[in-house]
């Protein structure tokens, strides 16, 4: 197996553009790639453009009628009227929407294929992670669900156990829906509580269909949860489940919208905690999945201050050259930021909170603490279904 990581990139992904004023500004992808280059991380990876997903691949998750609707809206955006979730405020139709959405999906599928076939140990597609798209509709800025398609392709190639970890601030509802009845896929989502955030799903009681009980895991975090609580929650649930499930490959989604500066959500996580979870996912892939790791982007709407740094850290970890938090952001990149956005870019690759610390679940819990109540609710809902102690 090649030890070299694969980085999926094609400039055309920046055409995934819902228009002026939409939170999903493609500048976040451009600036991430520019920062990866400025830090020299691109020289450590095999750069692959990837092919767009064809219709047979898209049909692994999406319905025929929905694919046809996306193509029609892509060809004639003005005719999209909200049917199939296309032409809404969240998901406005735009020219070329099918083509660029299929490209992003194809990059995640290509990343999964490379890891499964041993062409790369790790593969990253930070343009991916569009986890809200449903089999028959667009949702939450997502047209095709590249994460679900990557997992479906792994199953098609013969994988028997795939674990999916989603640390986006929003529930990974589309991926959960795609594999609700499939015991071969363990989906774990840590997200802000559905009482306070879209898509209002991801309750701990959502544990999978009767044919796959205990393979959907949801940890709904109280609004305002910060670094110590977020990391405590992750480590209180994820490692034990992976040890039990024994995945052959790990697929992770790293939406950067858990950050305290993100304008669309209410967690209070720092860049340094995001880096800590990225490192933990890398370690878990090696501990439980022989290193097979497919890492995706996701949400994140602080498009200058947060997203590029967070995903540059992800790339650095995947390619075997983690960026030290105190690293000074290259001046060339900051000039690029100002030229493109008229904003001042951040100075360092840290929020000043490294090293982040948390208390382990094994040391005991406080039944009156809201975070510990959330962790306990998830453990009690899922662990007994898997024959594990809550």
H or E stretch covering 253: strand 249-253
Task: Report d(CA 309, CA 324) in Å as an integer.
Answer: 12
Task: Report d(CA 264, CA 300) in Å as an integer.
Answer: 9
Does residue 150 contact residue 109 with C-beta atoms inside 8 Å?
yes
Q: Is 132 a catalytic residue?
A: yes
Q: Identify which of 385, 388, 387 has the alpha carbon closest to the alpha carbon of residue 205.
A: 385
| CA distances to 145, 261, 263, 277, 286 from 301, in Å | 19, 9, 7, 19, 30
Does residue 184 contact residue 167 with C-beta atoms inside 8 Å?
no
Which among 98, 122, 132, 193 is annotated as catalytic?
132
Q: Where do runs of H (alpha helix) occur along 61-207?
A: 64-75, 97-116, 146-156, 173-178
Q: What share of the chain is helix, strand, coil (3-state, %, to 5)?
A: 40, 10, 45
Does residue 243 contact residue 381 with C-beta atoms inside 8 Å?
no
Task: Report d(CA 290, CA 118) in Å as an integer.
Answer: 11
Strand partners, 259: 269
Q: Identify which of 75, 47, 71, 77 has the alpha carbon closest to the alpha carbon of residue 58.
A: 71
Task: Report d(CA 107, CA 105) in Å as an integer.
Answer: 5
| CA distances to 53, 155, 156, 266, 329 from 61, in Å | 12, 12, 12, 31, 40
Q: Where do runs of H (alpha helix) occur along 145-216?
A: 146-156, 173-178
Task: Report d(CA 28, CA 321) in Å as an integer.
Answer: 22
Task: Report d(CA 111, CA 233) in Å as an integer.
Answer: 28
Phi–psi pair at 347, nearest 5 degrees: -90, -30
User: Which residues are part of the catalytic machinery?
Assistant: 132
């Amino acid at each position: 197996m090649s030890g070299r990581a694969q980085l999926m990139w094609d400039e055309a992904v920046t055409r995934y553009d819902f228009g002026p004023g939409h939170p999903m500004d493609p500048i976040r992808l451009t600036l991430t790639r520019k920062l990866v280059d400025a830090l020299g991380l691109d020289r450590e990876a095999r750069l692959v453009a990837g092919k767009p997903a064809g219709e047979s691949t898209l049909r692994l998750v999406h319905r025929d009628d929905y694919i046809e609707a996306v193509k029609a809206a892509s060809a004639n955006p003005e005719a999209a009227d909200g049917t199939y979730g296309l032409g809404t405020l969240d998901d406005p139709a735009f020219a070329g929407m099918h083509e660029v959405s299929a490209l992003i999906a194809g990059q995640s599928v290509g990343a999964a294929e490379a890891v499964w076939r041993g062409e790369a140990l790790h593969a990253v597609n930070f343009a991916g992670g569009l986890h809200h798209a449903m089999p028959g509709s667009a949702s939450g800025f997502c047209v095709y669900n590249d994460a679900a398609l990557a997992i479906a392709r792994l199953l098609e190639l013969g994988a028997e156990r795939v674990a999916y970890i989603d640390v986006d601030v929003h529930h990974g509802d589309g991926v959960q829906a795609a594999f609700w009845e499939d015991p071969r896929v363990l989906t774990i989502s840590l997200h802000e509580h559905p009482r306070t955030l879209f898509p209002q799903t991801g309750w701990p009681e959502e544990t999978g269909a009767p044919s796959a009980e205990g393979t959907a895991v949801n940890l709904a975090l109280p609004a305002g949860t910060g670094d110590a609580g977020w990391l405590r929650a992750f480590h209180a649930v994820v490692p034990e489940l992976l040890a039990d499930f024994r995945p052959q490959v790990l697929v992770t989604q790293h939406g950067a919208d858990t950050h305290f500066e993100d304008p669309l959500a209410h967690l209070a996580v720092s860049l340094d905690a995001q880096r800590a979870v990225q490192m933990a996912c890398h370690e878990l892939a090696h501990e439980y999945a022989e290193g097979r790791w497919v890492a995706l982007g996701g949400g994140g709407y602080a498009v200058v201050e947060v997203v590029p740094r967070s995903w540059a850290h992800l790339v650095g970890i995947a390619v075997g050259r983690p960026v030290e938090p105190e690293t000074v952001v290259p001046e060339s990149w900051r000039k690029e930021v100002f030229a493109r956005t008229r904003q001042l870019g951040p100075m360092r690759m840290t929020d000043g909170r490294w090293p982040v610390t948390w208390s382990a679940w094994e040391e005991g819990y406080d039944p009156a603490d809201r975070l510990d109540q959330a962790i306990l609710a998830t453990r009690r809902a899922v662990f007994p279904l898997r024959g594990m102690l809550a």
